[in-house]
Amino acid sequence: MYRKLSLLLITLVLTLSLFTGCQKEAGTIKLGLEGPMTGDYAYEGQGFEKAVQLLVDQTNEAGGLLGRQIELVIEDDAGDPTQAALVAQRLVDADVVAVIGAYNSTATEPASEIYNEAGILHVTPSSTATRLTEKGFERFFRVCFLDDRQGLFAATFAKEVLGVQTFGILHDNSTYAQGLAEHTKRYAEEMGVDVAFYDAINPDDTDFTPILTNIGAAGLDAIYFTGYHAQGGLLLKQTGELGLDLNWMMGNASNNPELIQIAGLENAVGTYITTEPLPKDVDYPEARQFVADFEEAYDMSPDSVWWMMAAEAFNVIRYAIEQTESTDSEVLADFLHNEAKDINGITGPILGWDEKGDRLGTIHLAYIIGENGDFIVNPEQP
Amino acid sequence: MEKLLTRLRNMNPIVWQVGLIVLAILLPLPMGNYHRSVLWRTGLYAMLGLSLNIILGYAGLFQLGHAAFYALGAYTCALLNLHFNVPILLTYPASVLVAALFGYLLTRPILHLRGDYLCIVTIAFGEVVRLVLVNNLFGITGGANGLSSIDRPALFGFVLRAPIYHYYLMLFFLILTIYAVQRLEHSRLGRAWMYVREDEVAAEAMGIDTTRVKLLAFVLGSGWAGLAGALYAGRITVISPDQSKFLESVIMFCIVVLGGTGSIPGVFVGTLGMVTLPELSRPLKAWRDAWLGFVMVIMMILRPEGLLPSRRVAMEIRGEKEEVLPAPATGT
Amino acid sequence: MQFLQQMINGITIGAFYSLVALGYTMVYGVLKLINFAHGDLFMWGAYVGLTGLNIILALIAQTSPWAILPSVIVVMVTVALAGVAVERVAYRPLRKAGRLAPVISALGVAFILQSLARNIYGASYKTYPNGVALSGGTTLGGARISVMQVAVLAISFLLMGFLYLFVQRTRIGTAMRAVSLDHDTSRLMGIDVNRIIAIVFLIGPGLGGVAGMIVALYYGSFDFTLGWSFGLKAFIAAIMGGIGNIPGAMMGGMILGIIETLGSGYLSPQWKDVIAYVILILILIFRPTGLLGERVAEKL
């Protein structure tokens, strides 16, 4: 009797262990996505989800990664640092291999501390605050470019191409725009340009007629807005309504076709935009393919440059896993630091990363909005 | 529910107080880090709720800008630590003092305002603090990015990193707060507050210096919120002006009212409802805030005095709802 | 030149604030409730207006400013009904429940409305179709004033004027004023208090909804956070003028709009909200019941 029982028990135990063994091999690779699915930045966070999910589905259909299916674990941090800390913990507890996120630097920062403690690979698509890469986190990477490169580009473009002597800069007090504005100001002043106007609007303002009246009276050669396209569009529209003749430049957060819709075509024509090259101008099939796939899957185009960055983040992680044939964060991070060079990215060629985790080799272009409302590469570049 | 509460009240308070403390100490042990963090956050908001309870629950003052003091405490701690290398634990008294000081400065001129006007002024003040922080006044507040790389608290050289240590630190202060608030509730000052809440004119007539009493409520409540802010700064190590936003004040307000105005257990119930439950309702994804709003409305309709109100407040609200008239005497 | 331009700008945005402030002040007058959901009803006006416009434009197959009129009616009716529904479901059960409970309920409704808008319409900015808003303008003494501005100001003042006359001269208006003084006495006088309150919630949110559509039309684009920020400002305007006081709300709105614009133009736009709040606090310190005082009796 006892022997039968013990036989049964042993069989049970063996069978169970077989299962767990099986699970380890045929298990999914879990990937974390942290972003603001609710709250003020919901638009961007939901775009992250769309972009990354699309690529995950494509990868899974093509057989998965290292023969395993990818499981995307999505967490909402509402753009809030406390929530970011909580969901980061959740993702760590969920045993994810790597995390893409978050959207805004204020959320990414506390999350990155937690991922760093857990030793998980962390790639942010859009957090541009400089200090994120100054903590010495070895497994933290950015696919977006730092504010200061774009600031340098903008200042150079203004001075050399537009011949600006009196310059104005306007930001919206958000972490990204303020950073870009500060860098632009610094570089412009170093080049001998007089930044006669430097001010900020509030992120949820809609009426800019007072500040525009001031800008109009300041006699500036050009004015650079570093905020987001929704307000950029309103600025352009109200400039037209006030009958002012202003030379507008905008940063890459205004790089969005909706800008023209909001501003009205006649108000938008002639505006300059500094940005990473748009997918249509990047001569990489990867970029065009992604845009086409996105449009087919969601019936809308990937409007925000940050959604492209989120897709890029996934792309980078996938590439690293494929090349190293490992899901170990240390191996992946090591690979990205030392061996990953010249990758064909969705957002352009990725030259690699420096030891801090910042993406190397920024390429910016200046665009001008043409008569038909399209973004044309400006004939003159600095 | 009533019977259970009566039985609890009749038990020797020491027994179940110690029991709760033991429970609180043991609770995080079997949990993973995420749940421990949730516990920590619950405790933090409970502390904030208790501090607001002094102002709103006891003294009956409409404070919808409480988050401003929370943020001020956090920023004080951060600035002292980042610029003067003051160890985190030592910044706590400063955070309390600064928050209390601002509590005094900003409410002193507006104490004579009545209910709803006081409400809007406190909202305005919350926004002013947030905007001043965002606009990087004097270049020290770090703008919209806030401040970061704040140290973690260290006790005799041991740095508190893991969530569980922060939980115990917070628990220590929470127990202190409960004890202090309870003493206040049953003191002359506490009774004066409730008197002012019920009927300010009568209180004044009885010789209570209503201005001083109300001011004390604000100062004490605000100072405590400052302590919570410092605790936050040491754990998350990143602070931002968003801590002072209106939504934060709303959450604290709801904690006090939903849980039961003027009651300490009520604050805990309110915190569970406003902070812990939404955390657990993450599967609802984009409908989470609609669900929260729905719960708020339903809760108020079903039980407007809150889940566990103090007896006085319950009588006040219930009394108005049930206008019980004595039955007319039969006969001629 | 600049001053005149800023004044024109200020009056325009002031008119918007006034329209929304009226809703707050009317509801407060009869219910002593700060309807925190009002800002989100205003935001819904913008969304409903967009849907309405799109449908009408599709029906008439061309873009024309005349499509605005039927859309406004649709908006007014929809948001007014929504306002009545909100009152019935979320506020009426709490009439006797003290002062705090209705505030929580109102905040809850605000969360629900915002979440609904974000989930139904999506989180991105929405734009009104081009060519619907009137274009063109003229210069007056060196300042530019657009046709849209004139139209907006005209409509706003017209609406406010009608409301004022309605409240002062009609029977229902008188009943409203009675109800805002005392519910029980009004009942004794034969006034159906519930009906009057329902009418208030028709008019207040109705106006707010129309304001939402006008604002969205004027600026051209908006998103689901419109209600929160605008609502708070309008609420401040209502308090500034004296809550419960209709001319006060109109005045408060105008003053707030002008202060904001002048502060933004002459000091700095990032400080304009701070300036407005500080002035509010100062006004209340010296005149604790608002500039025009309130029209409600204090219950002793």
Task: Locate C144 and state its tokens.
Answer: 């530019």
ipTM: 0.83
Q: Do C232 and B127 touch (CB under 8 A)?
A: yes
Q: Helix C100-121 to helix C226-241 angle, to the nearest 10 degrees?
A: 150
Query: Taking 50 as the threshold, does the pLDDT of residue C248 lie above it?
Result: yes
Query: Taking 90 as the threshold, does the pLDDT of residue C231 lie above it?
Result: no
* Chain C residues inside the 8 Å CB shell of B261: 100
Query: Taking 50 as the threshold, does the pLDDT of residue A258 lie above it?
Result: yes
pLDDT, tens digit, 9 for 90 and up, residues C25-42: 888 888 888 888 999 999
Average pLDDT over residues A142-164: 87
Average pLDDT over residues B273-289: 78
Q: Do C215 and A200 touch (CB under 8 A)?
A: no
Is the Cβ of B55 closer than 8 Å to some Cβ of chain C? no
Q: Nearest by CB to C112, which of B115, B253, B294?
A: B294
Are C219 and C4 within 8 A, CB to CB? no
Among A148, A180, A143, A152, CA closest to A358: A143
- The domains of chain A are located at 24-145+282-350, 148-275+365-377
* Chain C residues inside the 8 Å CB shell of A213: 2, 5-6, 9, 265
Query: Taking 60 as the threshold, does the pLDDT of residue B328 lie above it?
Result: no
Of the candidate ranges A277-281, A345-349, A355-359, the one whose mean pLDDT is the lowest: A277-281
Q: Do C119 and B287 touch (CB under 8 A)?
A: yes
* Among C225, C274, C292, the residue to mutate for chain B (most B Cβ within 10 A): C274
DSSP for A285-298, please give it.
Answer: HHHHHHHHHHHHHH
* DSSP state at residue C65: G
**Residue A99: its pLDDT value, please?**
94
Helix (H) or strand (E) holding C17: helix C2-31
Q: Do C236 and B120 touch (CB under 8 A)?
A: yes
Query: Taking 90 as the threshold, does the pLDDT of residue C290 lie above it?
Result: no
How far apart are alpha carbons A328 and A121 in whole angstroms? 9
**Residue C81: its pLDDT value, please?**
94
| Identity of residue B10 | N
Average pLDDT over residues A329-342: 85
Is the Cβ of A233 closer than 8 Å to some Cβ of chain C? yes
Query: Taking 80 as the threshold, does the pLDDT of residue B237 lie above it?
Result: yes
How far apart are alpha carbons B291 and B284 in whole angstroms? 8
Query: Taking 80 as the threshold, does the pLDDT of residue B118 lie above it?
Result: yes
Residue of B nearest to A73 (CA): B283
Average pLDDT over chain A, rounded to whole? 83
**Residue B319: its pLDDT value, please?**
61
Is the Cβ of A217 closer than 8 Å to some Cβ of chain C? yes
CA angle B254, B10, B300 (to 5 degrees): 20
Q: How far is C108 from chain A (nearest CA, A)?
A: 16
Are B165 and B33 within 8 A, CB to CB? no
Does the A148-275+365-377 domain belong in CATH 3.20.20.70?
no
How far apart are alpha carbons C227 and B189 in whole angstroms? 41
Would residue B187 be called left, alpha or beta, if left means φ above 0 and alpha means ψ between -120 and 50 degrees? beta
Query: Taking 70 as the threshold, does the pLDDT of residue B167 lie above it?
Result: yes
* Chain C residues inside the 8 Å CB shell of B293: 107-113, 115
Average pLDDT over residues C46-73: 84
Query: Taking 50 as the threshold, does the pLDDT of residue A22 lie above it?
Result: no
Q: Do B321 and C97 touch (CB under 8 A)?
A: yes
* Among B41, B42, B45, B238, the residue to mutate for chain A (most A Cβ within 10 A): B238
Are B284 and A76 within 8 A, CB to CB? no
Beta bridge partners of A375: A369
Query: Taking 70 as the threshold, does the pLDDT of residue B130 lie above it?
Result: yes
**Residue A12: its pLDDT value, please?**
47
Cα–Cα distances in angstroms (integers) from residue A329 to residues A19, A210, B234, B295, in the given order: 26, 52, 28, 42
How far apart are alpha carbons A180 and B311 in whole angstroms? 56
pLDDT, tens digit, 9 for 90 and up, residues B24-38: 888 888 888 888 888
Residue of C nearest to A36 (CA): C123
pLDDT, tens digit, 9 for 90 and up, residues A33-87: 999 988 778 888 899 999 999 999 999 998 888 888 999 999 999 888 888 988 9
Q: Nearest by CB to B143, which of A37, A76, A178?
A: A178
Q: Is the dihedral of CA B153, B157, B162, B168 positive or negative?
A: negative
pLDDT, tens digit, 9 for 90 and up, residues C141-171: 767 788 888 888 888 888 888 888 888 889 8
**Residue A282: its pLDDT value, please?**
59
Q: How far is B125 from chain C (nearest CA, A)?
A: 7
Of the candidate ranges B5-9, B327-331, C132-136, the one whose mean pLDDT is the lowest: B327-331
User: Phi and psi for A244 in degrees, rounded to 5?
Assistant: -90, 150
User: Phi and psi for A17 in degrees, rounded to 5?
Assistant: -65, -30
- Looking at domain A24-145+282-350, its CATH superfamily turns out to be Response regulator (3.40.50.2300)
Average pLDDT over residues C68-90: 91
Average pLDDT over residues B47-53: 94
| Binding-face residues of B in 196-215 toward C, CB within 8 A | 201
Q: What confidence tier does A283 reach under pLDDT thresholds 50, 70, 90?
A: low
* Chain A residues inside the 8 Å CB shell of B41: 82, 86
If you count DSSP H runs as helices and E runs as strands, how many of each does chain C have, helices first?
11, 4
* DSSP state at residue B94: H
Neighbours of chain C (3+ CB pairs under 8 A): A, B
**Residue C266: its pLDDT value, please?**
81
Is residue B112 classed as helix, strand or coil in its secondary structure?
coil
Of the candidate ranges A13-22, B49-58, C288-297, the one whose mean pLDDT is the lowest: A13-22
Q: Do C112 and B115 touch (CB under 8 A)?
A: no
* DSSP alpha helix (H) spans, A27-123: 42-61, 81-93, 105-118
Q: How far is C281 from chain B (nearest CA, A)?
A: 6
Q: Within chain C, what is the greatest distance between any pair of CA atoms?
A: 61
Between residues B251 and A8, which one has the greater pLDDT? B251
Between strands A140-142 and A375-377, the pairing is unpaired
Please report where in the chains the tokens 């007072």 appear, as a residue.
A210
Set out the domains of chain C in order of their start, with CATH numbers.
2-286 (1.10.3470)
Q: Nearest by CB to B144, which of A90, A109, A173?
A: A173
Q: How far is B206 from chain A (nearest CA, A)?
A: 46
Torsion of CA C269, C270, C271, C272, to 10 degrees: 40
* Chain A residues inside the 8 Å CB shell of B242: 80-81, 106
Q: Nearest by CB to A262, which of C5, C137, C220?
A: C220
Is the Cβ of C292 closer than 8 Å to some Cβ of chain B? no
* Chain A residues inside the 8 Å CB shell of C130: 261, 264-265
Task: Locate B152 and state its tokens.
Answer: 């973690």
Is the Cβ of C265 closer than 8 Å to some Cβ of chain A? yes
* Chain A residues inside the 8 Å CB shell of C13: 207
What residues contact residue A126 under an 8 Å CB cut-off, 6+ apart?
Answer: A44, A103, A104, A144, A176, A306, A309, A310
Percent of chain A surpassing pLDDT 70: 92
Q: Do B288 and A42 touch (CB under 8 A)?
A: no
Between residues C300 and B187, which one has the greater pLDDT? B187
Q: Nearest by CB to C104, which of B109, B254, B290?
A: B254
**Residue A36: its pLDDT value, please?**
92
* Chain B residues inside the 8 Å CB shell of C109: 293, 297
**Residue B332: its pLDDT value, please?**
47
* Among A174, A241, A258, the residue to mutate for chain C (most C Cβ within 10 A): A241
CA angle A144, A150, A152 (to 5 degrees): 145
Q: Tell me whether domains A24-145+282-350 and A148-275+365-377 share a fold.
A: yes
Percent of chain C surpassing pLDDT 90: 23
Torsion of CA B105, B111, B113, B115, to 10 degrees: 110
Average pLDDT over residues B91-109: 92
| Binding-face residues of C in 201-230 toward A, CB within 8 A | 215, 219-223, 225-226, 228-229
Between residues C43 and B310, which one has the greater pLDDT? C43
